[in-house]
Amino acid sequence: MKPTDLRGILQYIPQFREKTFVLAVDGAIVTDENFANLLLDVAVLRSLNIRVVLVHGAAAQIRELAAEQGITPSDLEGSGITDGATLRLALTAANRLTHEILEGLATHDLRAACPNALVAHPLGILQGVDHQFTGKIERVDVDLLQTLLAQGIIPVLPPLGFDGDGHTFRVNSDQVASEVATALKAVKLVFLTTTDGLMMRGQLIRQMPVADLESILALRKQDVAPECLSKALFAAQACRQGIPRVHIINGRVDEGLLAEVFSNEGIGTLIYANEYQQIRRAMKKDVRAILLLTRKSVELEELVKRTRPMIEKQLGDYYLFEIDGNPVACVALHVYEEQKKGELACLCVSPSHENQGIGRKLIQFVENRARELGLEELIALSTQAFAYFQSKAGFQEGTPDDLPPARREKYEQSGRRSKILRKKLR
């Protein structure tokens, strides 16, 4: 799906309307040439009645200011020691970036404000080390943020917190985003950074349940690329605290935010707090989706053509594989009870989701379902995917004699000369 495809976007609107997205933007992305396009994506979200909160970092700008002034900052990320000189750099850099963001939003006729909504206290002395002006977030002023959001105003939050005595503390922007998303019960937290997503051992991770991520952080933290570690830690924290989806994407990709939010495949990494994939029985409303999923395979003669009435007649045999509520694959199990055989049919995976193991999951599902029904053998007919069934699913080549009589008659009438595959279930 093209990110600008309106029909593709429309299917997501009901589940996102009046919901809150928290966008965590690295400082390096704010000054990137693609940031203007990113703000245009934000305007699209707002036009769809999606509430948006922007949190930004400032590490890249602190580094630049420090070089200009000949200062060595005590910490760049807001999680180490922040001395007085580094705090001054952080204030200057953060204020500049906040102004740039507000200015950019104004060019798209979007109202925004920078509220003092983060209540922070000193991080204190940890393992004998005084972290000075580094803070930890004690509370997010939810009422203030909700008041702004209700009026269509985008809150812009820098990596700074304030205590009741008027002191300012530097905080990690990833932590700010996680805490704000949790406090607002956001449905999505999106980290926009300079990498393509969560990198582990040089490989991009496309999707991962939070339990797996937490295990890696506990046992093999060194596998995570250093530049991604903060994102990984706070993505896990956010999911653990109730955020269902956390995304890590490259903020330099044109229309990348829309592509991540409004398509199943996305462009970066998805960390999810619950099972976002499911296989379910098809319903009457799904007939169109099955026809669309299989259309290309029918044109390529990989699958036999099925009409709407044909599918509706056997609708109880069909199953859909969904990702976040959107069908991306289908399969059918036709039962021949007298012969205790089942036919695995209409196996089709959307091209955008091929090579992700979905086909094997559907085959395994059908096998399990067939065993539950007391069937003793599965058959499948294929003109082009027979090698896959044999090498990946354990099927063996059979003959027309292996087909139930009713199925053999259809086989001979079709003239397709499909290979017949069979697999004993007991």
Task: Provide mean pLDDT across the span 276-297.
Answer: 91
**Chain-wide mean pLDDT for the chain?**
90
- Name the nearest CA neighbour of 293 among 309, 422, 282, 390: 282
CA distance 347 to 81: 56
Q: What is the CATH number of domain 277-424?
A: 3.40.630.30
How sure is the predictor about 275, in pLDDT bands with cuts at 50, 70 and 90? low
Q: Write the pLDDT tens digit of every residue in 363-385.
A: 999 998 998 899 999 999 999 88
pLDDT at 1 over 50: no
Q: Write the pLDDT tens digit of every residue in 99-141.
A: 999 999 999 999 999 999 999 998 888 778 888 888 889 999 9
How sure is the predictor about 269, in pLDDT bands with cuts at 50, 70 and 90? very high
- Name the nearest CA neighbour of 270 among 197, 339, 362, 180: 197
Percent of the chain with pLDDT over 70: 96
Task: Provide mean pLDDT across the span 267-271.
Answer: 92
Q: Write the pLDDT tens digit of every residue in 144-203.
A: 999 999 999 999 999 999 998 888 999 999 999 999 999 999 999 999 999 999 999 999
pLDDT for the residue numbered 63: 87
Q: Write the pLDDT tens digit of every residue in 75-110.
A: 767 678 888 888 898 899 999 999 999 999 999 999
- Name the nearest CA neighbour of 206 among 276, 255, 293: 276
CA distance 232 to 228: 6
Q: Please list, in sequence order, all residues whose beta carbon lies within 8 angstroms of the beta carbon of residue 167, skipping any fewer than 6 positions away.
A: none
Q: Write the pLDDT tens digit of every residue in 14-51.
A: 788 899 999 999 999 999 999 999 999 999 999 999 99
Q: Where are the domains of the chain?
A: 6-272, 277-424
pLDDT for the residue numbered 176: 96
Q: What is the CATH number of domain 6-272?
A: 3.40.1160.10
Helical residues (DSSP H) of 70-200, grouped into ranges: 84-107, 142-150, 173-184
How sure is the predictor about 4, in pLDDT bands with cuts at 50, 70 and 90? very low
The SS3 of residue 354 is: coil
Q: Write the pLDDT tens digit of every residue in 314-356.
A: 999 999 998 877 899 999 999 999 999 999 999 999 988 888 8
Q: Write the pLDDT tens digit of every residue in 287-301.
A: 999 999 999 999 998
| Full-model pTM | 0.71
